[in-house]
Structure formats: structure tokens, C-alpha cells
């Protein structure tokens, strides 16, 4: 059990919030797993730990903490600072839009932009969501994109693939939490290996961090599975395999959607013949590309 000299001075939620923000700023933590500043992260950690609504801090600021609550919060603050553990691993919770997911250190913390594009964002290429009957999520990790695909495409059966059995165990928790066991099939394999049939939509948030960037990652990211981050010298090893094989697994007019981080320039230099369509997300238009089956086969200008 963690004991802090600060404990006797911290009585209210407001006290612990102030303390946490100071500690986070003093430790120069990196924020990239759900929030982008010390205050928001501290507020989230406190509200979640106290089982309070995550969008209502003010009504509880002057609430006096029970001794056990204070000890628990101080222990989590201590771990966040000393271990540089992402807050999502401390709470076992991550959000994408309106969707809540269980996470732990077996998977990366969900942060893909792809979820913003599902459904309406793909209507220029998939006119009606009901046209998606089979879909594939490569490198599913926590299963977050597979779950959201099932929501946006209610007539679709989803295959969710990962090379990590640990990741698939976490994905199974999220699939079960959303009651999707009959629609989302979790498959242990390496990308397309052993898959059968074809799909109307394939999405992937594969490993894409280049070797130089992996070496410079903040400590918070080093708690995430290395297998899910790095992808060779230029970060494109997994993406190369996806581009090589995707057309074989797509139906006519099928769509491939892939996130590649900051590798747009390197990808376009490597594949100058492919007419990548770069989609606008909250992070900009350089992170997620789209290609149809016909474009992959060179059948469209």
C-alpha cells in the first residue's frame, strides 16, 4: 500500500486534483492516451476512481474523501508519475467517441482515427451501410474498431485478426461487453494468412512507427506492446504486406482503409503508382488512406 506525506493534507476532491496536476506537471509527463494536459487527465483519473460521472467535476470538488478513497487515488497518482504508466492502464478504460473499451497492457490504448470515418464518412465509396455484408479488421488489438464496425454496419459479419493471443483475449472482453459474439469472429493469425473468402470493407490500424521514432518514444508508450508499435526501418513493413494482398480479399468495389501515422510521404514515394485517397480526420488529412479493389489492381485511373 502506498503512503504519502501528502495524505494528511488532502481532504477534498479539489485538494487531490490540485495535488495531482502539480505532480503531473512536475514530472513532465507525456499526455497522449486520452487527454492532452495534466488537469484533464487528473480530473478523469479522480472521477473514474470515485465512480463519478466523467463529465461532471464541479459538483464534487468540495466533497470530502474517505481514507480508503484518498489512499487509492494517491497510489494511482504515484504510479502515473513514477512508472509513467498511461492513465488508461490505471483505470482499465479507454474511449473512442461514444464507445467505452476495456484495456490493459496487453494492447495499445485505442487512438485510431479510423473510427471517425466509419459509416457516413465512407458513403462516397460505400453508398449504403447495408451493402457491407462482410468486413475485416486487421491488427484488431483491443477489438475497438471491430466493435464499431459492427455498430455502423448492422448487416455485416466482422472478422477481427491479430497475431497476438494476448490482444485477442482483451478483444474478447470488449466483444462480449457489447454482446457481439455472434457477429465478430476473433482470429489468431498474421494479417491475411489463412483467411478465406472476400470482404466489402477491410480496415487496419497496423504497426507503423519507424525504427528512429520507436527509439525516441516517450516512456508512456514503452508500456504498450512493442509488437503493436514498430514496423521495420521505415514503419511500412506491415502496410506493404497489406497492399500486396488486400485486392485478393476484396469484393468488386470493395474498400481498403489503413492508418499509417506520419508515413504519408514515405508511402507515396514507395508506391507512386497508387492513387491514394487521403481522408480528413480530426488529426488532419495525412493519416488514413483509402483504396478500392480496382485501384489496387490498377483498373481505375
Distance (Å, whole) CA 204 – CA 280: 16
Range from 25-39, 96-110, 112-126, 218-232 carrying the lowest mean pLDDT: 218-232
> How far is the C-alpha of 24 from the C-alpha of 37, rounded, in Å?
9
Domain ranges of the chain: 7-91, 106-296
pLDDT tens, residue by residue, 288-300: 999 999 999 998 6
Mean pLDDT value across residues 190-206: 96
pTM check: above 0.75: yes
Contact 167, 137 (CB under 8 A): no
The domain made up of 7-91 is a member of CATH 1.10.8: yes
Would residue 52 be called left, alpha or beta, if left means φ above 0 and alpha means ψ between -120 and 50 degrees?
beta
Question: Could you give phi then psi for residue 253, rounded to 5 degrees?
Answer: 65, 15
Q: How far apart are CA 258 and CA 136, in angstroms?
A: 12
- Alpha-carbon distance of 7 to 67, in angstroms, equals 9
The average confidence (pLDDT) of the chain is 92
Give the 3-state secondary structure of residue 213.
helix
pLDDT band at 32 (very low <50, low <70, confident <90, very high): confident
Q: Which of 211, 274, 210 is nearest to 242 (CA)?
A: 274
CATH architecture of 106-296: 3-Layer(aba) Sandwich (3.40)
Amino acid at each position: 500500500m502506498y503512503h504519502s506525506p501528502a495524505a494528511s493534507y488532502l481532504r477534498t476532491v479539489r485538494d487531490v486534483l490540485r495535488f495531482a496536476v502539480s505532480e503531473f506537471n512536475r514530472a513532465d509527463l507525456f499526455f497522449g492516451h486520452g487527454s492532452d494536459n495534466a488537469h484533464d487527465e487528473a480530473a478523469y483519473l479522480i472521477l473514474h476512481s470515485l465512480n463519478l460521472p466523467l463529465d461532471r467535476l464541479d459538483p464534487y470538488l468540495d466533497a470530502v474523501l474517505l481514507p480508503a478513497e484518498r489512499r487509492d487515488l494517491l497510489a494511482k497518482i504515484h504510479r502515473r508519475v513514477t512508472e509513467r504508466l498511461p492513465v488508461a492502464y490505471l483505470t482499465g478504460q479507454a474511449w473512442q467517441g461514444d464507445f467505452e473499451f476495456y484495456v490493459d497492457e496487453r494492447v495499445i490504448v485505442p487512438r485510431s482515427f479510423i473510427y471517425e470515418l466509419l459509416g457516413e464518412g465512407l458513403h462516397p465509396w460505400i453508398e449504403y451501410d447495408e451493402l457491407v455484408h462482410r468486413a475485416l479488421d486487421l491488427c484488431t488489438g483491443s477489438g475497438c474498431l471491430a466493435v464499431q464496425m459492427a455498430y455502423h454496419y448492422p448487416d455485416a459479419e466482422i472478422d477481427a485478426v491479430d497475431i497476438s493471443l494476448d490482444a485477442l483475449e482483451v478483444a474478447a472482453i470488449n466483444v462480449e461487453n457489447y454482446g457481439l459474439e455472434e457477429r465478430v469472429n476473433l482470429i489468431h493469425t498474421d494479417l491475411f494468412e489463412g483467411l478465406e473468402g472476400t470482404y466489402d470493407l477491410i480496415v487496419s490500424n497496423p504497426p507503423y512507427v519507424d525504427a528512429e521514432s520507436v527509439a525516441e518514444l516517450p516512456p508512456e508508450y514503452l508500456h504498450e506492446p512493442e509488437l503493436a508499435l514498430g514496423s521495420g526501418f521505415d514503419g511500412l513493413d506491415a502496410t506493404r504486406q497489406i497492399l500486396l494482398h488486400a485486392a485478393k480479399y476484396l469484393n468488386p468495389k470493395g474498400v481498403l482503409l489503413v492508418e499509417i501515422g506520419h508515413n504519408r510521404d514515405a508511402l507515396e514515394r514507395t508506391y507512386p503508382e497508387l492513387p491514394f485517397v487521403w481522408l480528413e480526420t480530426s488529426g488532419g488529412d495525412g493519416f488514413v488512406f483509402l483504396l478500392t479493389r480496382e485501384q489496387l489492381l490498377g483498373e481505375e485511373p
